A and B are shown apart, each in its own frame.
Chain A
Amino acid sequence: MKRWIGVGLALLLAGAVVVAIVLGGGGDGDGGGGTKDLATVRGVIGSEKKPFFDDPQVQAAFAKHGLRVEVDTAGSRQIATSVDLGKYDFAFPSSVPAAEKIKQDRKASQTFSPFYSPMAIATFEPIADVLTKAGVVRDSGSGYQVLDVKKYLDLVAKGTRWDALPGNTAYPARKRVLLTTTDVRTSNSAAMYLAITSYVANGDDVVNSSAQTAKVAQTISPLFLDQGYSESSSEAPFEDYLAMGAGKTPMVVIYEAQYASHLFAGDGAIRPDMRLIYPSPTVLSKHTLVPFNDRAAEVGRLLQEDPEFARLETRYGFRTADPKVFADLVASSKAGIPGGLVDVVEPPTYEHLERLISTIEQRYLASAKPSS
C-alpha cells in the first residue's frame, strides 16, 4: 500500500517538476500576476480542502504574493504514515494529531493552524424529532440542537433499530440506528468521530493509555463495523445525504464546513427539512499546515494571517482565528449556524488515536465479526 502511494505521487511529481522548471524560470516576479513569474509550492492535503485550493480566487490571491500552490490529496492518516513527504514542500492534514506526527518526523520548526471546523451531524427535521423523543437529541440552550453522545452509545449498545424508537412514524426503517461515517481506517472525519466517542466511552476523558484503548475499542468498534460498507472520503456520504435524502443517510457525521459552505453559497443544496446538529461533546478538526521550507511557511503564514485569505477560507465554511469574519457571513447569508460551541473536547494524541484505529482495523480483518 505504502509503495503504491509513493509511486503514484512520484508520477504526479514528475509532471510537476517539468511545470516548475518551465514556470519557475523567470525568477522573482513584479507582482503583476503573470503566471510565468510564480514560484511553485507543492503540498499534500486532506481532500476536503481541494475545492478551496482549486478556487481561481484563491489561486489569484497566492499569485499576488508570487506563489503558485499545487496540491495532491490524501487521507490525513496516509499523510502521517505512508505518503512520501520528501516530494512536497508542505503537508496540510485536517487534524492536530496527524500534524503533530508529521512535525515530529520531519523535525519541522513550526506549524500553522489557519482554520478549523467543528465536527457536526447533518440530519433531517423528522429524524431529529424522533431522536428528541428518544432523549438522544436535545436543545443545547444556545440556539442549536445537540446529539447526546452518551445516550447515543447506550442506544447503539442495545442494538436499537429505527422502527423500535417510540412514536417513530417518520422513519420506520428496520435497520439499526447508526450515524453514517466514512471509513475510519482512511478518513479523518471518521477519526475525529472516533475521538469524540472514545472520550465518552472512556468516562468523559481523553484516552491516554493502552489499557484504556483496549477497553474503549470494545464499545466503539460496532459504531463503525455495524454500518457495513463505508466510503473512503468525507465528500461521498454527505453527497448521498444531499442527493438521496434520509432513506440512505438519515444522519451523517460531517465537518461543519461542508454544510456551511452550501448555506453561504446559497446554492439550494440545503433544503428546508435539513438540519445541522452537533454531537455533545464535539471536537474541532484543526486544519494544520506543516511547512518543510521557507516558501511553504509563507503559504502557511498567508493562510493564517492575511485577511483576504481569511475571507476566502470562510466562504468554504471554515472558521478562522477572527470569529467576526465567520459571524458576518452567517448573518449576511441568514445561515442558522451557531457562533460558538460550548461542549468541545480535545482529540487523543496521535499515538493513542492511531492505536485506537489499528484496534478497529484488526476487527475488520478478523474473519468473524465481534459480537456487539
Chain B
Amino acid sequence: MRLFTGRRLAAAALALLVASATAACSGDEQDPAKQDGPDVLRVLAGSEVKDLEPLLKEAAGAVGVRVRLTYTGTLDGAEQVASGGADGHYDATWFSSNRYLSLIDGAPARLSTQTKVMVSPVLLGLKKSKAHALGWDTKQVTWADIATAAREKKFTFGMTNPASSNSGFSALVGVTAALSDAGEALDRAQITAATPKLKEFFSAQTLTAGSSGWLADAYAKQESVDGLINYESVLLGLEGRVKEPLTIIYPSDGVVTADYPLTLLASSARKDLYGKLATWLRTPDVQRKIMTTTFRRPIVPEVRPDQRFGSAQLVELPFPNRRSAADELISAYLNQVRRPSRTLFVLDTSGSMGGDRIASLKQALSTLTGADTSASGQFSRFRDRETVTLLPFSGRPGVPRTFTVPEQGPDPVLRQIRSYGDSLSAQGGTAIYDSLRAAYDMVTLQPSDGDFTSVVLMTDGENTDGSSYEDFAAYYGTTPRNVRTFVVLFGDSDVEEMGKVASLTGGATFDAREGSLSSAFKEIRGYQ
C-alpha cells in the first residue's frame, strides 16, 4: 500500500523533480539525499556520460526509474567511492571504466553488481589532410609510428589530463604499453624504461584539458592542433562540428577501451531500481539508440556495430593490476613526460577578501604545493619543471613573484610558494583588468618555448579600479591570443563579466561560491 502511495506522489511531482534534477546536473551543491523520490536512482558519474541524459529521461516512462546524475572527475570520484564518502548519498556509479577504482584498497568491497553498458576505445583522430600527408589513411599505423612522427614534429595533438579524465589515462596506459613493448601488464621498471620514448610522443601534445567533452569543444571552436586523442565516440561526434573532417587512426598494436559499467554501490537499498535500469539499458532498442545518438559501440551481441565504426580489429592492451603502477605512470607523465606548464595566478587580495576568504585562498594555494596528500591532491600539485607566477592585486597590480619547480627535489620551492601564499593580506580596491593585463604582458614579453601557458583569475567582487572589461578585450585582441584564462568565481564575483573573460580567452569558469576554493583550484589543474 505504502509503495503505491509513494509512486503516485512521485508521479504527481514529476515536473518539480525533473527541474531539481537539472539543477543538480548543472553543479549546484545540494544535499543529494534530500530531494529523492522513491523512484530516483542517484548516480555519481563521470562527465563522459553526460551525452546520455536525453536517453536516460526515457527510462522514467519505460521502467519507472528516474536517474539523477552528479558529475565528478575520475580520480576524485574513485577516492570518494573508496573512502565510503559516496555511501548513503549515491546508489550507483557510472564512470567510463572501473579499472582504476578497483585497484584502490577497500574500493572493491564498496561495489556490488557491475553492468557494462557500452564500449568506446581511445583513439587518435587526425585532420584528414594531415593523416593523408603522413600516409596514415591507407596503411596500418602503430603507436611507435605515431611516436616517431611526434618526435619529428610532424603533427600536434590534444589529450585530457590523465589525472582528471579517463580518456587521457587510458591513452597514457595504451601508449606506454605499446611503446614499452611489454607483452604483459605494466610495472614500475617498464614505466621507467619507456619514459624517454613517452617524452618524444608527448612532445607533440600542445593542448590539454580536464575533461573529454571540454577538449572536444575547445578543438571544435579553434582547430589549433592537428588532432585529438579521445574516445572514438567523441571523435565521431565531432563530425559536422569541425571544418576539416577527422581521419580516425586505429593503432594496430592495440588500444585501451572504456566499457562504462553502471555499478551498484553495496550500501544502496535501491537494488531493484538499479536492476531495472541496467536491464533496460541493455535492451536491443536502447543499445541501438546509444549507438546512433552517442556513437558508442553496443555491448550486447544482438546489436552489431554499424559501418561507421570500421572493421579494424582492436587489440586490447593489458591494463595495470596494481595501483602503484597506475599512480607511477600518472606521476611520470605529469612531472617528467609532458611539456612543462607555465601558470600565472592573478589573485584578488582586495579588502573584501579579508577574514575567511583570504584564509581559503591561502589554503587553496597550499593544496597546490602538495599539502593535500590524497592521490588527486598529489596529482594536482605544482609539477616538477613548472613555472608558477603569483600576481596578487588590489587597487592596482601587485609585484609578481615567479617560482620554478626544479626537475628534481621540488619540496624546497613548493615550501617557498606556500610561505609566499601565507604572507598575503587583504586590503584596498579591485583592479581586475589592469592586473589581468599585467599577467598577459609578462607572457608576451617572455614567450615560452612550447610550455602549456595559462592564467588563473580569482576575484571575489566587481572591478572597482583601473581599466574596464572592454579595455581588456581590446588589448587582448593585440596579443597572440593563445593563452587561456580560467576564472574562479568566488564571493560576489560578477558572474556575467567573468564568463566573458573566460570565453574571450578560450578558458572556462569554475564556481567556488558554494564549494571550496581548493576544489576549484584542483579542478583547474586538469587544464594547465
Q: What is the interface of chain A, defined by CB distance below 8 A to chain B? A: 1, 4-5, 7-8, 11-12, 15, 47, 73, 159, 161, 171, 173-176, 178, 186, 222, 225-230, 232-233, 236, 239-240, 242-249, 267-269, 271, 364, 367-369, 372
Contact = CB atoms under 8 A, between A and B. Distances in A.
B321 A176 contact: no
Contacts of A246: 313
A367 B99 CA distance: 18
Given A225-B185, A226-B185, A244 B314 contact: yes
Contacts of B185: 225-229, 369
B298 A4 contact: no
A11 B269 contact: yes
B301 A268 contact: yes
A1 B106 contact: yes
Contact of B315 (A1, A15, A247, A267): A247
Contacts of A171: 313
A268 B108 CA distance: 33
Contacts of A247: 313-316
Contacts, number: 120
A236 B116 contact: yes
Interface in B291-324: 297-302, 313-322, 324
Interface in B241-278: 253-254, 257, 259, 266-267, 269, 271
B181 A174 contact: yes
Contacts of B299: 239, 243
A230 B321 contact: yes
B273 to A, nearest CB: 13
Nearest to B106: A1
Interface in B361-389: none
A228 B254 contact: no
B137 interface: no
Contacts of A5: 109, 266
B322 A364 contact: yes
B301 A175 contact: no
A269 B315 contact: no
Given A1-B108, A173-B315, A229-B102, 5 more contacts: A227-B321, A229-B321, A230-B321, A243-B299, A248-B257
B119 to A, nearest CB: 6
Contacts of A225: 184-185, 321
A284 to B, nearest CB: 26
Contact of B113 (A73, A161, A249, A369): A73
Nearest to A224: B321
Contact of B109 (A4, A15, A161, A269): A4
Contacts of B318: 175, 226-229
Contact of B99 (A175, A222, A229, A271): A229
A12 B264 CA distance: 13
A230 B103 CA distance: 10
A16 B181 CA distance: 52
